[in-house]
Amino acid sequence: MIMDENTSLEIKNLSKNFVQGGESIEVLKNVNYKLESGTITGLVGPSGSGKSTLLKIIGLLDKPSSGDIIIKAVNVKKANEEMLTKIRGRHIGFIYQFHHLLPEFTALENVALQELIIGIDKKTALKRAETLLKMLNLESRINHFPSQLSGGEQQRVAIARALVKKPTIILADEPTGNLDPHNSEIVFELFLSLVRSLNLSAIVATHNEHLALKMDKIIAIENGELITVK
């Protein structure tokens, strides 16, 4: 599959159906989209519109009912489970509304683990993790456990964890939705700055129109269809 080198992700004719009460419900209808390298795209739409479903499918945590997902020229429809795991590990970084940090590890260890899992040596992994945490203004907190960190600090660690392996695509599902407005603004600005400095691509699902306007592009899901807002 040939894909423009400036394209991180291409979605072609993607649909997703669920069966509920014996009735088939089409959540996503013939979705098409190209994510350009280095672009941050906001994904908006009301609750239940299919934002999280789309992110899970792109992140290879769920399968579409039909259609294609192409990541760095690889059509994942043709990939077996082992290959899907490798693609997810190398090319996808996830950030959720809740940080999901491992409580028994420090901030530094939580971040470094992501690289250790994909085979990076421990010294290099710890150094990269420390560098990212410093960029997120957490240099004095790197040896603290999650229980010793504030909500905003925990979410910054989660951001560093997703970005440390420099994945092709960052998928963020309401990444600051669990924070108060002040911390939400601070953490989101740090997130945008870091993603741009690393020249990564990102899709960020959010209900916050103010935050969405800070992104390069905005797309929306309406009645299962994807439309361009900005």
Say if residues 151 and 179 touch (Cβ distance below 8 Å).
yes
**Count of CB atoms within 10 A of residue 59's CB?**
18
Q: Which residues of the chain have pLDDT under 70?
A: 1-5
Is there a contact between 69 and 76 (Cβ–Cβ < 8 Å)? yes
Q: 60 is in which domain, residue-wise? A: 37-65+76-228
pLDDT of residue 55: 94
Rounded distance, CA 114 to CA 48, Å? 31
pLDDT value for 2: 43
Give the pLDDT of residue 4.
59
The answer to whether position 17 is within a domain reads: no
Give pTM, 2 decimals.
0.88
User: Could you report the per-residue pLDDT of 57-66, keeping only the tens digit for each?
Assistant: 999 999 999 9
In a domain, 80, yes or no: yes
Residue 181, SS3 per DSSP: helix
**pLDDT at 5 (0 to 100):** 67
Q: Which pLDDT does position 177 carry in this prediction?
A: 80
Instruction: Tell me whether residue 134 is in a domain.
Output: yes
5 part of a folded domain: no
Residue 174's pLDDT is 87
Half-sphere exposure in the Cβ direction for 89 (13 Å, CA) = 14
- Within a domain: 2: no
Q: 3-state DSSP call for residue 220?
A: strand
139 domain residue, yes or no: yes
Residue 206 lies in a domain: yes
CATH number reported for the structural domain that contains residue 135 in this entry: 3.40.50.300
Question: Does some domain include residue 145?
Answer: yes
Which residues, 6 or more positions from 223, have their beta carbon under 8 angstroms from its beta carbon? 29
pLDDT reported for residue 210: 85
Cβ neighbours of residue 56 closer than 8 Å, sequence gap 6 or more? 62
Tokens in use for 71? 């990541």
pLDDT for 1: 41
Quick one: pLDDT at residue 230? 81
Count of domains for the chain: 1
